Structure 1
Amino acid sequence: MYSQINEVTSFYPKNGRVILHVDMNSFFASVEMAYDSSLKGEPLAIAGNEEERKGIIVTCSYEARKFGVKTTMPLWEAKKLCPQLIVKRPNFDRYRKASSAMFEELRQYSELVEPVSIDEGYIDITECYELGTPIEIAQSIQNRLLNQLDLPCSIGIAPNKFLAKMASDMKKPLGITVLRKRDIHHLLWPLPTIEMHGVGAKSAEKLATINIHTIGDLAQANDIQLRAVLGIRGIQLQERANGIDPRPVDPEAGKENKSVGSSITLPRDITNQSELLDILENLAISLSDRLKRKRYMTKNVAVIIRYKDRKTISRGRKIINPIRKPVDLFHAAKILFMQNWDGNPVRLLGLSAQDIVDEDEAYEQLDLFTYEKAAQKEPLYQAIDTLVNKYGKKVVRKGSELQKGENDKK
């Protein structure tokens, strides 16, 4: 028995960690197939508004992907590519229950389980050698999820979270991939930066301006240039491109109540509702900028109101989907303010983002309508960002501001 354990421990590093990233394959579609076996093997898409043909694909099965169907694709386009496509409306209660059951299965192997989103998470199995080698544990997890829940997954095995995440993306569906630091030169470095976890389209564009096109380019880039285009985030990405990621698997990570706030003491006590809402909107813009710089998003917005007599109230509002755009922050703040302001003179206004989540680990527990609206508005937001970056904040103004300007001239 001792010799068997000794043999297994040889697969575990003496001073490092063994981390798995478990990524469910085409999760929403897989849950629907588990619920209705007649859907297995069929091209299936989760979307909405099928009658109007205006729906957006939330996710789709691998059978549908063979026809070129992709997430965020308009439903009419998907049906053109795959006329036999089966479309189901999202059932988020069903998906949340499946997610909960999935994480319960993972906790049978280790207490160190960190959910990242509804369909993926990390497990630290460094001390789990009695259960077998890392590959044997990964195979056991994969088989258990498939046999108990009828849900397929891919698993990455690595010495840290970043490499485990990259590994799980390499073989889908039902893949198991080991990625060691010594492998990154030939497996990761040739890949374009956009394929690196944590690098979005905008970051990839900025990196391209300093001739960084691959993960290898990023790994060997000049520190000063990286800081110039991406700030401290550029240095963090460079470390990960070199296989360095000290973040532990933290079961409490999702429960942290970090916050970012922005407030202003008014030059005079104000009772005019329109003025107060304008101030609140400016606070939303300021807060959005701070969240963007820190690469955070929020699932809880709070408004702080301090009256002339120094009485202070703070009221929060939980939000299903992580937000950061000024318009979304202001919308939530305006509702809170209108519900809680008693009409008395206000001395201080504040707006804070609580239940903060990292941008690259934020996820949307989507309801269909917010998903579709977000997808439709994204080109508009990108166009506004481009204009503001090029010409300054005053280039985009509200109609009410323009009207006020015209009235002032009269």
Structure 2
Amino acid sequence: MQRQIINLDMDCFFVAVEVLKDNRLKNRPVAIGGNADRGILTSVSYEARRLGVYGGMPTRMAKQLCPQLHIVKGNADEYSKYSHMVTEVIRERVPVMEKAAIDEHYVDMTGMDKYIGTLKFAHELRTKVIDETGLPLTFGLSVNKTVSKIVANEHKPNGEGYIELPGVQQFLNPLSIKKIPGVGDTTYIKLSEMGVRQIYTLIQIPAEMMFRIMGQNGITLWQKANGIDNTPVIPYRENKSISDQRDFTTESMDVERIRQLIATMITELAYELRKQHKLTACITVTIRYANFETVTRQARIAYTSLDFTLIEKAKELFDKAYDRRMLLRLVGIRLSHLVGGFEQIDLYSTSNEQYSLYQSMDKIRNRFGKKAIVIASSLKPNPKSRPDVS
């Protein structure tokens, strides 16, 4: 049975939310970013892109290049709210949905065409999202996740695209290899040096040679260039999570030391989020008193994977949970409502230097292990007074 996969991708999502809130920004070069001295841009409108501005560009450089650029600081809570709204509209109407990122969803309609025309359904679903949220949306419909995503990208902004199986290779061949999901600058440069810049050229290379050049990634890239992708649409569930808990071998009521332990746990979990290219929208803190009474506090937050943001919220929840002067025997942290994405969502509130610090810390952890570096707030200057954990 031929698969029918829809890729639903919001157009310039952060900027679109800001335009929805302030109509004066419509059709103007707009960017979401930090301050002019040290900030970088996280999202830019199509009008700004046409003037040479791009996401990840330092704010100072963008303003020099485009003096008329309107920079908005951004609001993570608003973006998370609208992301949830879009997800709910889609989830209520489809059999299988994967939330691939804060602004992107996949829908598997395989086998449903005999009940409802999939192209007609995709059009109606897109219209419903736009009507209920006010946000622009593009969809691509095709035989797998890779092709449907490329189709969507080729029909942006605010468009609709459909490529049936017989036309997949004809559609892919003239495109740049940069259009293949997962092809970054390093891969593009490597293949360009070999004279491979179009998908048509790439598919002429034997798969065995791609394996010798790039290993298993070369095979995956070759398959995508040939329109092959058997990756399933993974049903989205809000309870996807990562967690950690520490049992104290010696019960403790040293609040400051426990707060430091929470910071350490969050730092390790946030690193795991970034390594998996995930963001979290919900944090849960659990404590257990010496009498085995368990208390849990939970909060929905703006999508993030940044240590300091999560530590602040975790400590706040711990303070709410620990309202009795009693010994504790356990503390636990859970980060849930995970979606694919990168920490750039919070960059408009993070300086360029702080972002560089996160990247440098992660590089050290990747090389020497996740415990190789910690932030100051998780240090324990007096080990004898800290709770022993197991």
- Mark yes or no: TM-score above 0.5: yes
Once the 2 structures are TM-superposed, how far is the Cα of residue 201 of structure 1 from its aligned partner? 8.1
Max Rg structure: 1
For the residue of structure 2 that corresponds to 1:247, the secondary structure is: coil
For the residue of structure 1 that corresponds to 2:41, the secondary structure is: coil
Q: 1:159-180: per-residue Cα shift (whole Å, max 9, x none)?
A: 2334312321234334544456
Question: Structure 2 CA distance, aligned partners of 1:329 and 1:100?
Answer: 19
Once the 2 structures are TM-superposed, how far is the Cα of residue 262 of structure 1 from its aligned partner? 1.8
Cα distance, 1:244–1:83 mapped onto 2, change above 3 Å:
same
Cα distance, 1:339–1:235 mapped onto 2, change above 3 Å:
farther
For the residue of structure 2 that corresponds to 1:169, the secondary structure is: helix
Q: 1:83-105: per-residue Cα shift (whole Å, max 9, x none)?
A: 23344565789878877887788
Once the 2 structures are TM-superposed, how far is the Cα of residue 70 of structure 1 from its aligned partner? 1.5
1:61 aligns with 2:38: no
Q: Which moved more, 1:377-386 or 1:177-186?
A: 177-186
Cα distance, 1:219–1:60 mapped onto 2, change above 3 Å:
farther
2:361 counterpart residue number: 384
Contact 1:20 1:122 in 2 (8 A): yes
1:303 counterpart residue number: 285
1:167 aligns with 2:147: no
1:45 aligns with 2:31: yes
Cα distance, 1:243–1:358 mapped onto 2, change above 3 Å:
farther
Cα distance, 1:339–1:28 mapped onto 2, change above 3 Å:
closer
Q: Which moved more, 1:95-104 or 1:113-122?
A: 95-104
Q: 1:60-85: per-residue Cα shift (whole Å, max 9, x none)?
A: 32222111112243433222112233
Contact 2:102 2:340 in 1 (8 A): no
For the residue of structure 1 that corresponds to 2:350, the secondary structure is: helix
1:332 counterpart residue number: 313
**Structure 1: where are the runs of 5+ without partners?**
1-14, 406-410
1:75 counterpart residue number: 59
Contact 1:117 1:363 in 2 (8 A): no
Contact 2:285 2:333 in 1 (8 A): yes
Question: Structure 1 CA distance, aligned partners of 2:339 and 2:291?
Answer: 38
- Counterpart residue identity of residue 315, structure 2: K
Q: 1:279-331: per-residue Cα shift (whole Å, max 9, x none)?
A: 333433443455566654432222232232332322223222232x5544433
Question: Structure 2 CA distance, aligned partners of 1:293 and 1:148?
Answer: 34
Contact 2:141 2:162 in 1 (8 A): yes
Q: 1:345-397: per-residue Cα shift (whole Å, max 9, x none)?
A: 22223222233x2435x788x6xx76331755221111122334445667646
2:387 counterpart residue number: none
Question: Structure 2 CA distance, aligned partners of 1:320 and 1:266?
Answer: 31
- Counterpart residue identity of residue 3, structure 2: R
Give me the TM-score of the superposition, normalised by structure 1: 0.65
Q: 1:17-60: per-residue Cα shift (whole Å, max 9, x none)?
A: 322223233344456667777655443334565xx666643433
- Counterpart residue identity of residue 244, structure 1: D
1:268 aligns with 2:253: no
For the residue of structure 2 that corresponds to 1:73, the secondary structure is: coil
Equivalent of 1:243 in 228, 242, 260: 228
What is the aligned-residue RMSD (CA, Å)?
5.0
Equivalent of 2:141 in 143, 157, 166: 157
Q: Which moved more, 1:179-188 or 1:119-128?
A: 179-188
Matches within 5 A, 1:9-408: 15-30=1-16, 40-47=26-33, 56-87=40-71, 90=74, 116=100, 119-126=103-110, 127-128=112-113, 134=119, 152-179=136-163, 183=168, 187=172, 196-197=180-181, 243-248=228-233, 250=235, 253=236, 255-288=237-270, 291=273, 296-323=278-305, 325-341=306-322, 342-355=324-337, 357-360=338-341, 371-373=348-350, 376-390=353-367, 396=373
Contact 2:76 2:302 in 1 (8 A): no
Aligned residues: 367
- Counterpart residue identity of residue 187, structure 1: L
2:388 counterpart residue number: none
Contact 1:46 1:87 in 2 (8 A): yes
Contact 2:97 2:108 in 1 (8 A): yes
Contact 2:285 2:296 in 1 (8 A): yes
Question: Structure 1 CA distance, aligned partners of 2:380 and 2:92?
Answer: 61
Question: Structure 2 CA distance, aligned partners of 1:279 and 1:180?
Answer: 54
Question: Structure 2 CA distance, aligned partners of 1:36 and 1:109?
Answer: 30
Cα distance, 1:218–1:170 mapped onto 2, change above 3 Å:
farther
Question: Structure 1 CA distance, aligned partners of 2:135 and 2:91?
Answer: 16
